[in-house]
Amino acid sequence: MPEIPEPTIRATCYDVTCLPPDNINAHVYTIKVEYRGHGKWAVLNGKRAYDINGNADWEPIPSEREDDWLANHRHTLSEALAIAVRVAPQMVVNGHTVADALIAREAFPHPNA
């Protein structure tokens, strides 16, 4: 029987958001930066992936991803985090901006706050 090695711990996802974590809407106003292998990271809003300019595009299923699409939508970690920080304040969910979500929080604070 082989010897079982010690478990490996690695960070593979970052959440980038302008809303506080206890905000009920924080999860929908969160950009995900996820490791995709080979030292490359994806910047995601649901099924949309961002390119270096912050433009979102639907992410195709793996078998349909072309090399040029991957080249434009996979980044180094520092690039991916910079893109996420740039697009997070611009998020719009169901017609509501980040500012709208923050104002709503002030108008209707959490009852346990």
pLDDT at 22: 87
Q: Where are the beta strands (DSSP E) in the chain?
A: 13-17, 30-37, 40-45, 48-50, 56-58, 92-93, 96-97
pLDDT attached to residue 108: 54
pLDDT of residue 24: 87
Task: Say what the pTM is.
Answer: 0.86
The per-residue pLDDT for 12 is 97
pLDDT along the chain (113 residues), means of 10: 94 96 92 97 97 96 93 98 98 94 69 54
